[in-house]
Structure 1
Amino acid sequence: DIQAIFNGDEHVYKLLCFSFDMEKLRNAKEEITHHPKLSQTSSGKHIIEILPAGSGKGRALTELASLYGIEKQDIYAIGDSPNDFSMFEAAGNRIAMGNAIDELKEKSTYITKSNDENGVAYFINRLLDNGQ
């Protein structure tokens, strides 16, 4: 019973829900949208990630940058899925994988190769070669 988890005393960092039933996923997303203590994202078409409100990759990146005194323009974030939107908001340099969803590509400052083509390594090597 998922309500028992939400109402219990145990600290839950993340719930990952997976289903091929798109109607169930839509209904779950709708219900979570109205829960004041929760936020949601996704790392794939059939996945919902349920997190505490205000958490996520973007918040983690912002807090790490603050801790180490890194300015936004010096932050590079690489992603491919909806769960990377908050991270892109926190970064001055937003790199979308070649296989990323279109909405993430639209928010990117650079599009690298796909994950099947070692896009992260490709971008890092390109960055190092340019001496940035």
Structure 2
Amino acid sequence: MTRVLGDLEDTVMTHLWGARAPMAVREVQDVLRAEGRALAYTTVATVMDNLHAKGLVERSRSGRAFRYTGVGSRAEYAASLMKQAWERSGDATACFVALLSAMTQQQRAVVENALHIVRSTPQGTPGAQETGGAAQ
């Protein structure tokens, strides 16, 4: 089951998903401090350990410390949350109609583009093409 991320978890994941290399707790703490979030090392370490327990990050030993890498992408994480909510709705059609009704025209165009990509992608190769943008 995919869990919704808290504010600090989301911020940490944003940096890990965007990192070019695995990050140590101290590096994440430094980035957060530069953004105006002065957090204790132990707080950041606990958050990263929790993210590891949730399966959202992988970690590998680097000397005495761990280095963390985000698993998957933000898009894959968001998709798993949407899929889970849809499956739990009790009425998938009504749920999707409500979602589409709440979207802007631009967001619906993104859905149409995504459907076009999925329909034109050979079965068994999901995500083989890039969407070229995100909904606002």
Common fold: TM-score over 0.5: no
Q: Between the two structures, name the one with larger relative contact order (CA 8 Å, sep ≥ 6).
A: 2
Q: Which has the higher helix share?
A: 2
TM-score category of the 2 structures, normalised to the smaller one: under 0.3
Higher Cα Rg, which structure: 2
Q: Which has the higher strand share?
A: 1
